[in-house]
Chain A
Amino acid sequence: MTDTPRSFQEIILRLQSYWGGKGCAVLQPYDMEVGAGTFHPATTLRALGPRPWAAAYVQPSRRPTDGRYGENPNRLQHYYQYQVLIKPSPKDLQDLYLGSLQAIGIDLALHDIRFVEDDWESPTLGAWGLGWEVWCDGMEVSQFTYFQQVGGHDCRPVSGELTYGLERLAMYVLGIDHVMDMPYNDPQSPIALSYGDVFRQTEREYSRWNFDQADTAMLLSHFEDAEAECERILAAPATDGAGRAIVMAHPAYDQCIKASHLFNLLDARGVISVTERQAYIGRVRALAKKCADAFVTTEAGGGGAGGAAAEVAV
């Protein structure tokens, strides 16, 4: 199990196969721009409510302020996270996690793995949990969190969340110093591609757009639009014209994700002052909270059919 993988994609494939083998539904990335794997509704919303859940997926993540035109060895404005969410958190989650490190070629007999206190908080999602950053020989390779609250709701049962920063982890496993030099596919392939072959061009283009070109007035109005649409969706009656009870938590949450990413873009353009920052974060959090409120009334959220139960309760 501890033979060394040869490429970035092999590490991803091994994680998929490991967590799939442990019973997780291997999902696909969410088809929207997000800042971290946590934003995927398979984590944010599914961590709520009483229903058991186990999912693993890769999530492309965008952090516009981290763009370095593809020149920094470790920083990217677009990168990948590997995300695992299991509810309720199993008793042997730490062991399962350590197994995943072995699966990607980390020999536990040679390395020093440590669980170092690191409490997680997402002000935009109104979420927090306790856990650790996991160190391998002094390097942070994952975040390990027991969710306590999401969208202002207590998590019952508690989900265990694992987040791997894939590029950093892979660079460590593959012994690469600059992310762009990392083999994306097998270096022995007929057409061997490095991470740089795949992403250097886009890093340059997006860095310029993020920092200099994104139309801030338009982004601001898109933010307002997303916020308004999110609230409008949630304010719609729980029953449609045909008498079906359908609370639209997910479409509303899409708008919340949009608002969050637009805020990140505005932040990268440097048009948000320190004081305004808090206000914007507060606005996104208010949306996330309302989406969470809506989700827990749905069947998937354990609230009964389409929110009808919650309406009765009110």
Chain B
Amino acid sequence: MPDLLIELFSEEIPARMQARARDDLKKLVTDGLVEAGLTYAGAAAFSTPRRLALTVQGLTAESPTLREERKGPRVDAPAAAVEGFLRSTGLTREQLTVRDDKKAQVYMAVIERPGRPADAIVAEVLDSAIRNFPWPKSMRWGTGSLRWVRPLQSILCLMSDEAGARVVPLDVDGIVAGNTTEGHRFMAPGRFPVSSFDDYAAKLKRAHVLLDPAERADRIWHDATNAAFAAGLEVVEDAGLLTEVAGLVEWPVVLMGRIGEEFLGLPPEVLQTSMREHQKFFSVRNPGTGRIEGYITVANRETADHGATVLAGNGKVLRARLSDARFFWDNDLRTVAQQGLEGMAAGLAHVTFHNKLGSQMDRIRRIEALAREIAPLVGAAPDLAAEAARVAKADLQSAMVGEFPELQGLMGSYYARAAGLPDAVAAACKDHYSPLGPSDDVPAEPVSVAVALADKIDTLAGFWAIDEKPTGSKDPYALRRAALGVIRLVVGNGVRLELRREIDHALASVMLSVAGHKRAVLIEDSPDGTSLLSALRDAEVLAEDFPETLKVDRTRLLGAFVKGELGILTADGRGLDFRFPAKAEAISDLLAFFHDRLKVFLRDQGIRHDVIDACLAMPGNDDLTLLVRRAEALSATLKTEDGANLLQGFKRANNILTQAEAKDGVEYSFGADVKFAEDDSERALFAALDRAEAEIAPAMAAEDFARAMAAMAALRGPIDAFFTAVQVNSDNGVVRRNRLNLLSRIRSICLSVADLTKVEG
């Protein structure tokens, strides 16, 4: 049972690619070995900045011999047929055997495919793994055509067993596999041979290379927390940074430094971001005050002066960075003091959001109007929401966000407080982008909710208005995320809002703002639909720079938008740049997009898509909070025994009724009368339906879906009893009609709660 050791030694592999590369190497090689008939006991992959390594233990020494029996032609078959069989099996006539088969004797061939030694298989598999390695980005170098993430310098490929170790012969584009590797670039230069994985890992450690990234991360974290603790401080946890730094060093050496007093007044997020993004430093916090006062940098080596030069150099670079940050911070605060936050935002008039959707300032005006409208629905003061919307994106113009885009929103909240704006406005600056990811916190502060909803609905309406919707895997403007954000804001805060109405207003607002900066034209399609552009030449220009001149007739613009007859001319005025979809189409299409996202959202919470469909078919389906409550109640009901059986009862009633209605050509929807009831179960059902109706109607009016559905599920017993005791299609026409009308009552009561015809099962 030999062990296999592979090392692919290269120039520095990007840290972010190493984890994937380890998995890929392990999978490509082990899959290849297994496919070729080998088995193994275990495998593990490792990486450092300069190497990918794989150990496979307990590999079978060769692939098994395969034996195949194949039936040939009859013994008396023509010679040509026998020749053909010999050719296809690679045997001679003497090697064939003869066997009785039903009526005749036939030739049989026994073909043996001998196993192959593991070494040959390893060479093939590794060659293919190297050539087909799925690096996210790869390159060529020198005169070769081989691709690797950075130049591949050497290959170590070793089989070892009781007899010793041997190199697997392999040559990939002139790189010949051997049994040597290199230690740390600076601390232990030079190549050395290894004889097994254990020998390899041990010698690397002596040569100042820790092979296992987990061990490097452990050492960094251990040493960092110790260093901080000794100084009465604590390291701010950052798992992502730890993984990255562990991928940047072969021999981690932790060094701790202090941040200069003059920078301690910067917001902690600025210090952390600057140190993390530019320098890959961990932040070190004073647990007493919560302030960031120091940093941990991880060098790739020990030095004779115990890191003094390295730390001094890093400190110098940090000082330069923080001087910049301090300069930005002071400048921004000065701008805010002189011009206010709205003054800072003024420049957004010159920042294009999207060339069809105008500037950031156009967008802010639309968001302001929408936020004002949504505010009362979420319990926010309209004026406050409008104010927040006006300044929420001001920090995009700040020097600090220019340098650190990831601080957008957060800086706005600092500057809002500096400008003396209310806390709710400062919070909205920070939180109106949220939620970004599916697990982000959802803002709950009413002003933040109003601005966040307005921001996202405007974005969606905008891209729907210009018909740049997400397709398949392409969603460059993150519109799916925006829609999910709206859903989570609405549902998470129990907001009651008619989404259709908000979309309508947002679309109209986008259209007016787009038309205001471009040349909007009325498109009158010719009947044959072919001469659009020639019609355009004479088209009536409805709007041209109207905010300045106010010459436009808004009513006519909106009228054309409603009818789908509104277009925008190209810059030279000679063609159609794009055409707005008819408003109603855009609204229902965007609402359908929301419903799709809602299905994904609820599916993750264990609610089936057909249950959602049953609720979507009900009125008020643009009120997402109502929709979700209904779906949750229905889902819960269907999980009870009564609920599941009621569904069967409903389906049976509905089937019988539908067939009868189709056959009779009438609709049985009225006039079931208890006086025609013949059976006790029938009378009991009448009574139960009366009770259910009395319960369900007020429950539905109060939107108490749980109560309504419980009342509906309670019908299960009487319905089951009815079907057991009674045949609906009685010979007596009066009785039959009465029973069909009774089924119709079941149907209409159930459908008043949710469209159960949509539920599967």
Contact = CB atoms under 8 A, between A and B. Distances in A.
Interface in B304-346: 304-305, 309-310, 312-314, 316-318, 320
Contacts of B153: 91
A92 to B, nearest CB: 10
Interface stretch (A13-21, A105-113, A184-192, A245-253): A105-113
A137 B310 contact: yes
A113 B310 CA distance: 9
Interface residues of A, number: 36
B139 interface: yes
Given A148-B139, A274-B352, A117 B313 contact: no
A157 interface: yes
Contacts of B15: 117
Interface stretch (B140-148, B414-422, B428-436): B140-148
B257 to A, nearest CB: 10
Nearest to A278: B355
Contacts of B140: 146, 148, 156, 158
Interface stretch (A28-36, A37-45, A128-136): A128-136
Interface string A114-157: 11110100000000011110001111000000101000000011
A157 B143 CA distance: 5
B222 interface: no
Nearest to B17: A117
B150 interface: yes
B12 A115 contact: yes
Contact of A132 (B12, B138, B350): B12
A89 interface: yes
Contact of B314 (A109, A138, A146): A138
A148 B352 CA distance: 33
B351 interface: yes
Nearest to A110: B309
Contacts of A109: 186, 303-304
Interface in A147-206: 148, 156-158, 160, 172
A282 interface: no
Interface in A228-276: 273-275
Contact of B142 (A74, A94, A131, A157): A157
A23 interface: no
Contacts of B14: 117
A172 B309 CA distance: 12
Contacts of A113: 186
B139 A274 contact: no
B465 to A, nearest CB: 19
Contacts of B351: 274
A43 to B, nearest CB: 17
A156 B310 CA distance: 39
B297 interface: yes
B137 interface: yes
Given A108-B186, A110-B305, A90 B11 contact: no
A73 B320 contact: yes
B309 A137 contact: yes
Interface of A: 73-74, 88-91, 94, 108-117, 119, 129-132, 136-139, 146, 148, 156-158, 160, 172, 273-275
Interface of B: 11-12, 14-16, 49, 137-143, 149-151, 153, 186, 248-249, 279, 297, 299-301, 303-305, 309-310, 312-314, 316-318, 320, 350-352, 355
18 contacts: A74-B320, A88-B143, A89-B142, A89-B151, A91-B153, A94-B11, A110-B310, A111-B313, A112-B301, A115-B49, A119-B137, A129-B139, A137-B309, A137-B310, A138-B313, A138-B317, A146-B150, A158-B143
